[in-house]
């Protein structure tokens, strides 16, 4: 697709984290951008600051006339919109070029060397590390992130157009629209079973994704996955492997074994072995692209993280508050491992908001097992997102499965009071719904007291 002929790009669901990155990209490339979203958020406000016109009612009359010419307007939509959406229906009926978000990314990446990060967990952190490494090594890269980078306070890294870094999203098989030159798969745990039906179909789709890699391209896989490729891991027999791992001043210090030799004294500040694994694959892909290891070591040491990925909100001697996006049992286990590694002797209170009725139903026993590990649990109601309730699937039903006597079902309005009654030194907020909006209120309440 020739973007040069486009004057306007209109987004349906512009406030989504992936959609907003593409919107920023088109603004940076001189296009007029506008869009619709369901509700105002910090993201939509930041887009409006760029001059993007956004409205919050599904009404074609709210769309500027400048965006109603199918000859010079591209429409990009998120698959999260409802099946009946009047603006989407209008654009389809009037012969506009309408692309799903992943299709737009596929078109953008066609003219560049594409590095894609796939997997049910770790995509956003790995992508942000990789984008940062390449930019710090002065590679002409554009990186589309599924979260807000702490280094750039944005979900888009702009340093040129020869290379693109993208998340290859398995949701509704979106990643099959990509044709990457280098790709990695971090994990293939069952998820999105409302889309796939079963774990076997999900794994089959990941195999299909590997067929999308360019003929002379390269595939990296987490050691142990049932796929053929260059392997990576931690303290194992992988092709790229973190070794001699130590913790100094809250940071990992490690060596990395590669097919060309072992390189020493890498530093990485994000807690958790899952994050260290993400760093290893980002280093491997950057090295495969041609970055020098001495430059990569400097770049990795300056990496700050992604908002809502084990983000320290308060960190004092007596009280620590961490916020994380984890919304799958395996991700919660990874967060638990990280917090236990950093704070082995302190009491940990977890506040969890389940995301989607279907995911809660599909993984109820696994959620219960992972949540039982914490010293204390506060459970919020299920965040429905795009779904209608499922009979019998409630947070009370989930809580009854948790084998931990220190558990309680609460409303968000009581959250701060409940945290105050606990004597936990470490507080975690976990979930992918609107629990992130409570973070600033918790910070305000506990900054006063600490």
176, pLDDT greater than 50: yes
pLDDT for the residue numbered 191: 61
Decide whether 3-101 matches 112-301 in CATH topology: no
pLDDT in tens, 319-330: 999 999 899 898
pLDDT in tens, 335-355: 998 899 889 889 999 999 999
Q: What angle do CA 108, 109, 112 make, to 5 degrees?
A: 120
247, pLDDT greater than 70: yes
pLDDT for the residue numbered 143: 97
pLDDT in tens, 103-140: 999 999 988 999 999 998 888 999 999 999 999 999 99
The mean pLDDT value for 169-195 works out to: 79
At the topology level, CATH places domain 112-301 in 3.40.1190
449, pLDDT greater than 60: no
Q: What angle do CA 70, 71, 72 make, to 5 degrees?
A: 95
User: Mean pLDDT in the chain?
Assistant: 92
pLDDT for the residue numbered 162: 95
pLDDT in tens, 408-423: 999 999 999 999 999 9
What band does 192 get if pLDDT is binned at 50, 70 and 90?
low
212, pLDDT greater than 60: yes
Burial of residue 53, with CB atoms counted within 10 A of its CB: 0-12 exposed, 13-18 middle, 19 or more buried: middle
Q: Quick one: CA torsion of 29, 31, 34, 37, rounded to 10 degrees? A: -30
158, pLDDT greater than 80: yes
206, pLDDT greater than 80: yes
pLDDT for the residue numbered 450: 43
pLDDT for the residue numbered 415: 95
- Return the higher-pLDDT residue of 79 and 361: 361
- Return the higher-pLDDT residue of 191 and 386: 386
What band does 309 get if pLDDT is binned at 50, 70 and 90?
confident
Percent of all residues in the chain with a pLDDT value above 90, rounded to a whole number: 74
CB 101 within 8 A of CB 18: yes
Percent of all residues in the chain with a pLDDT value above 70, rounded to a whole number: 96
The mean pLDDT value for 45-53 works out to: 96
- Show the 3-state SS of the chain: CCHHHCCEEEEECCCCHHHHHHHHHHHHCCCEEEEECCCCCHHHHHHHHCCCEEECCCCHHHCCHHHCCCCCEEEEECCCCCCCCHHHHHHHHCCCEEEEHHHHHHHHHCCCEEEEEECCCCHHHHHHHHHHHHHHCCCCEEEEEEEEECCCCEEEEECCCCEEEEEECCHHHHHHHCCCCEEEECCCCCCCHHHHCCHHHHHHHHHHHHCCCCCCCEEEEECCCCCCCEEEEECCCCCEEEEEEEEECCEEEEEEEECCEEEEEEEECCCCHHHHHHHHHHHHHHHHHCCCHHHHHHHHHCCCCECCCCEEEEECCCCEEEEECCCCHHHHHHHHHHHHHHCCCCCEEEEECCECHHHHHHCHHHHHHHHCCCCEEEECCCECCCCCCCCCCCHHHHHHHCCCCCEEECCHHHHHHHHHHCCCCEEEEECCCHHHHHHHHHHHHHHHHC
- Return the higher-pLDDT residue of 380 and 345: 380
Its pTM surpasses 0.75: yes
* C-alpha to C-alpha distance for 48 and 24, rounded to whole angstroms: 11
What band does 205 get if pLDDT is binned at 50, 70 and 90?
confident
Superfamily of domain 311-449: Mur ligase, C-terminal domain (3.90.190.20)
What band does 170 get if pLDDT is binned at 50, 70 and 90?
confident
391, pLDDT greater than 60: yes
**How is residue 240 written in tokens?**
């790229």
217, pLDDT greater than 90: yes
448, pLDDT greater than 60: no
Q: Is CATH 3.30.420.10 the right assignment for the domain spanning 3-101?
A: no
Q: What is the CA radius of gyration of the chain?
A: 22
Closest CA to 357 of 381, 379, 384, 331: 384
Domain ranges of the chain: 3-101, 112-301, 311-449
CA 450 to mean position of chain CA atoms: 31
pLDDT in tens, 351-376: 999 999 999 999 999 999 999 999 99
What band does 195 get if pLDDT is binned at 50, 70 and 90?
low
What band does 218 get if pLDDT is binned at 50, 70 and 90?
very high
The mean pLDDT value for 142-154 works out to: 93
């Amino acid at each position: 697709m020739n973007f040069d002929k486009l004057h306007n790009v209109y987004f349906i669901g512009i406030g989504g984290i992936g959609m907003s990155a593409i919107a920023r990209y088109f603004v940076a490339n001189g296009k007029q951008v506008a869009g619709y979203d369901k509700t105002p958020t910090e993201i939509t406000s930041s887009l409006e600051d760029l001059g993007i016109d956004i409205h919050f009612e599904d009404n074609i009359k709210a769309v500027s006339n400048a965006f109603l010419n199918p000859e010079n307007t591209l429409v990009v939509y998120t698959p999260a919109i409802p099946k009946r959406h009047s603006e989407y229906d209008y654009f389809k009926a009037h012969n506009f070029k309408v692309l799903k978000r992943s299709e737009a990314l596929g078109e953008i990446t066609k003219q560049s060397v594409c590095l894609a990060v796939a997997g049910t967990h770790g995509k956003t952190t790995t992508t942000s590390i990789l984008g940062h490494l390449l930019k710090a090594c002065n590679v002409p890269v554009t990186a589309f992130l599924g979260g807000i980078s702490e280094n750039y306070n944005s979900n888009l890294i702009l340093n040129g157009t020869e290379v693109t870094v993208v998340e290859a999203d398995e949701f509704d098989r979106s990643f099959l629209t990509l044709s990457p030159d280098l790709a990695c798969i971090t994990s293939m745990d069952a998820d999105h079973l409302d889309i796939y039906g079963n774990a076997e179909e999900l794994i089959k789709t990941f195999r299909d994704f590997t067929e999308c890699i360019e003929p002379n391209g390269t595939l990296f896989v987490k050691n142990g996955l049932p796929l053929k490729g260059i392997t990576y891991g931690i303290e194992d027999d992988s092709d790229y492997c973190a070794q001699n791992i130590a913790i100094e001043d809250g940071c990992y210090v490690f060596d990395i074994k590669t097919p060309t030799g072992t390189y020493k004294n890498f530093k990485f500040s994000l807690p958790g072995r899952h994050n260290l694994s993400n760093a290893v694959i980002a280093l491997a892909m950057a090295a495969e692209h041609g970055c020098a290891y001495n430059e990569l070591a400097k770049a990795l040491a300056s990496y700050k993280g992604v908002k809502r990925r084990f983000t320290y909100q308060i960190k004092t001697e007596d009280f620590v508050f961490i916020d994380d996006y984890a919304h799958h049992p395996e991700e919660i286990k990874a967060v638990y491992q990280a917090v236990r590694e950093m704070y082995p002797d302190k009491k940990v209170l977890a506040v969890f908001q389940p995301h989607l009725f279907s995911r809660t139903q599909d993984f109820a026993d696994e959620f219960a097992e992972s949540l039982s590990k914490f010293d204390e649990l506060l459970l919020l109601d299920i965040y429905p997102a795009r779904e209608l309730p499922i009979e019998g699937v409630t947070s009370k039903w989930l809580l009854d499965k948790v084998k931990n006597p220190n558990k309680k079902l609460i409303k968000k309005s009581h959250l701060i009071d409940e945290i105050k009654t606990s004597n936990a030194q470490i507080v975690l907020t976990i979930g992918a719904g609107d629990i992130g909006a409570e973070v600033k209120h918790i910070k305000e309440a506990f900054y006063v007291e600490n």
